[in-house]
Amino acid sequence: MNKLLIHPAAKPVLFTLALLPFAQLLWGAIADTLGANPAEALLRGSGDWVLRFLCLTLAVTPTSMPSFTSCVMPGWT
């Protein structure tokens, strides 16, 4: 897994994948498919994706920072 994340193309690929929800919301605004209240649809859609990315980030962080967790919580490996 580490070799995959160290690859030079990993960062641009992950950044592009993270922009896909924005592209979906932008396309919905351009195509006028957001419904009767487009402002609410944009806010709700972006908020949902923010929570998903936050959960993903919090789920990945403990595996990438073992030295920090051992300093804060002794005995935690």
Q: Is the pLDDT of residue 45 over 90?
A: yes
What's the pLDDT score for residue 59? 84
Average pLDDT over residues 49-56: 94
Q: Does pTM surpass 0.75?
A: no
How large a percentage of the chain has pLDDT more than 70? 74
Tell which wins on pLDDT, 6 or 39.
Answer: 39
User: In the structure encoding, which two tokens stand for residue 24, read together?
Assistant: 């979906």
pLDDT band at 60 (very low <50, low <70, confident <90, very high): confident
For the four alpha carbons of 55, 60, 65 and 66, in that order, the dihedral sign comes to: positive
Report the C-alpha gap between 62 and 76 in whole angstroms. 11
Give dist(CA 72, CA 76) in Å, integer: 9
The dihedral built from the CA positions of residue 71, 73, 75 and 77, taken in this order, carries a sign that is negative
